[in-house]
Amino acid sequence: MKGRKSCWSNSAYSNSSTTTKRCRRTWRELEFRDKDGDGAISFSEYLPQFTNEDIERNETSHGEAGWWWHNSQNADADRSGTLNLYEFRDFMHPEDSRNENIQRWLLREKIRQMDVNKDHKLNRLEFSMVLTIYIKRTLNMNLEEPIFQHHLKYLRQA
Ligand SMILES: [Ca+2]
Ligand SMILES: [Ca+2]
Ligand SMILES: [Ca+2]
């Protein structure tokens, strides 16, 4: 296994204090969870509470066994059945991952959350709701300002 220093060498972002902290956390988590000491994490090592029957039910709602199973399958880039340090890092911090399967999964998850009426499509109202929440939370902007009121009025009419 490669060392702690190279933990982020192939991540989407360069080394920063945040990524270094995440790297340390991933390494510690791997060492703690790797019960058989093979340097990789199996699904049952990480989530021992789920049985094979739980996985077979394939419940893919957020936090269900099927949801975790799909996440671990996406992270298992070399299809070995276990997650090495790099794969485990992607599993724990999917937002930093370059793994295409993980990126596609994240996008699907975002769209699923945005799809309020669950018709598997995004209408303008759903999109404008997400935009509003994004502006409020991420940019910490005041939606009462005239410019945002103008845009929101346009989106509601569109
Ligand atoms: Ca192991
Ligand atoms: Ca693997
Ligand atoms: Ca919809």
What's the pLDDT tens digit per position in 7-53? 655 555 556 777 778 888 899 999 999 999 999 999 999 999 999 99
Residues in the chain: 158
Using DSSP, state whether 86 is helix, strand or coil.
helix
Nearest ligand to the C-alpha of residue 87?
Answer: 2
Tell me the pLDDT tens digit for each residue of 63-111: 899 999 999 999 999 999 999 999 999 999 998 899 999 999 988 888 8
Using the mean position of ligand 3's atoms as its centre, give its distance from the Cα of residue 12 in Å: 31
Using DSSP, state whether 139 is helix, strand or coil.
coil
In the block, residue with structure tokens 């340090």: 85
95-134: buried (b, 16+ CB within 10 Å) or exposed (e) per residue? ebbebebbeebbeeeeeeeeeeeeeeeeeeebebebeeee
Nearest ligand to the C-alpha of residue 80?
Answer: 2
Nearest ligand to the C-alpha of residue 126?
Answer: 3
